[in-house]
Amino acid sequence: MADQLRIAVPNKGQLSEPASAMLSEAGYRKRKDSRDLVLVDPDNQTEFFFLRPRDIAVYVGEGILQAGITGRDMLLDSGAAVEEILPLGFGGSTFRFAAPGGRTMTVEDLQGKRVATSFAGLLSSYFAERGIDARVIPLDGAVESSIQLGVADAVADVVSTGTTLRNAGLEIFGDPILESEAVVIRQQGAEEDTKVEGLLRRLRGVLVARDYVMMDYDVEAERLEEAVALTPGMEGPTVSPLRREGWSAVRAMVPRRSAQQIMDDLWALGARAILVTDIYACRL
Ligand SMILES: Nc1ncnc2c1ncn2[C@@H]1O[C@H](COP(=O)(O)OP(=O)(O)OP(=O)(O)O)[C@@H](O)[C@H]1O
Ligand SMILES: O=P(O)(O)OC[C@H]1O[C@H](OP(=O)(O)OP(=O)(O)O)[C@H](O)[C@@H]1O
Ligand SMILES: [Mg+2]
């Protein structure tokens, strides 16, 4: 249907499961079978198309689908007319050079050499921008084997934990070519679309619910200012009178990763009944 929001989602690979999990947390329907190619979600007037992450920028760039989830590296590699509109905080990786004995190498050493990669577009632009004349050897995957097999002198590949490179006896060198993560994309210069805005609002809500917790505590009036300084919240904490004379109840969102430290600091100020709860969903 024409008034449906049509979104591209990775059908397999590293981004597939976390992308579907995030959409499900955002209240969209989840596909039951990982082989399904299309999922219609009539309650949200949305259709999901499960596509290869590498192809997603092409569909969105052609204006066939209004938005998609893919890796920043894949979006840049595609050369499609798309733009990133929201980083999603998963699928984090760096794109890096590696070679045997790479520790002692620099990017300039690649002059005249062969560099294998499955991101030929991205790598060619990188070399062009720096005036390095290297030969890019495009491969589909398992790039780490290319040096041992004699097709390349170095590789440019996705690195997460570094295990794959280490196991292949390769060492990273040079600055990261790119820091990547999963992102929402749309066609370059696309007009504001209320349905896409709605999707983004939901996804931002999931990001906040993942990164923040709700903290409640009671504190004596004399220590209130110090306590509030530790928990400034988003637009200022809610402070309400406690039935107990001279005490207040405070409620504020705090970053999940610092919640334990803030609890310790509040306790030291004399705050009591300090409670932390998950945020299930939100719109800020
Ligand atoms: N080990 C990893 N950790 C985090 N992100 C990764 C990792 N490997 C790849 N990615 C990211 O996931 C996205 C999709 O890559 P993925 O490897 O899933 O696709 P692919 O190589 O085309 O498919 P496959 O590996 O299934 O053949 C890319 O943006 C990439 O940066
Ligand atoms: O640093 P690590 O944690 O080891 O992860 C990085 C590896 O993960 C991906 O491989 P994938 O499994 O997608 O295979 P592929 O090379 O065939 O794409 C990527 O291409 C790297 O090889
Ligand atoms: Mg891969």
In order of start, what are the domains of the chain with their CATH numbers?
A: 5-90+181-191 (3.40.190.10), 93-180 (3.40.190.10), 212-278 (3.30.70.120)
Q: How far is CA 40 from the centre of its chain?
A: 25
Residue pair 56/66 in contact by the 8 Å Cβ criterion: no
Q: Are 41 and 47 in contact (CB under 8 A)?
A: yes
The reply to whether ligand 1 has any atom less than 6 angstroms from the CB of 78 is no
- The residue-averaged pLDDT of 63-87 equals 97
Quick one: pLDDT band at residue 207, thresholds 50, 70, 90? very high
**Dihedral-angle region of residue 142 (phi above 0 means left; psi in -120 to 50 means alpha; beta otherwise):** left
Cβ 121 vs Cβ 77: under 8 Å: yes
Atom of ligand 1 nearest to the CA of 15: 12
Residue 85 has pLDDT above 60, yes or no: yes
pLDDT over 90 at 268, yes or no: yes
204: Cβ–Cβ under 8 A, 6 or more apart, which residues? Answer: 86, 284
Cβ(93) – ligand 1 distance below 6 Å: yes
Q: How far is CA 81 from CA 65, 164, 187, 189, in A?
A: 13, 32, 6, 9
Instruction: Tell me the per-residue pLDDT of 18-52, one tens digit each, with 9 for 90 and over.
Output: 999 999 999 999 999 999 999 999 999 999 999 99
* Structure tokens belonging to residue 13: 């690979």
Residue 46's nearest CA partner among 6, 9, 19, 2 is: 6
Q: Once rounded to an integer, what is the mean pLDDT over residues 161-184?
A: 97
2: confidence class by pLDDT, cuts 50, 70, 90: low
CA of residue 143 to ligand 3 center, whole Å: 10
Ligand number nearest CA of 12 is 1
ipTM over 0.90: yes
What confidence tens digit (pLDDT) does each residue in 101-158 have? 999 999 999 999 999 999 999 999 999 999 999 999 999 999 999 999 999 999 999 9
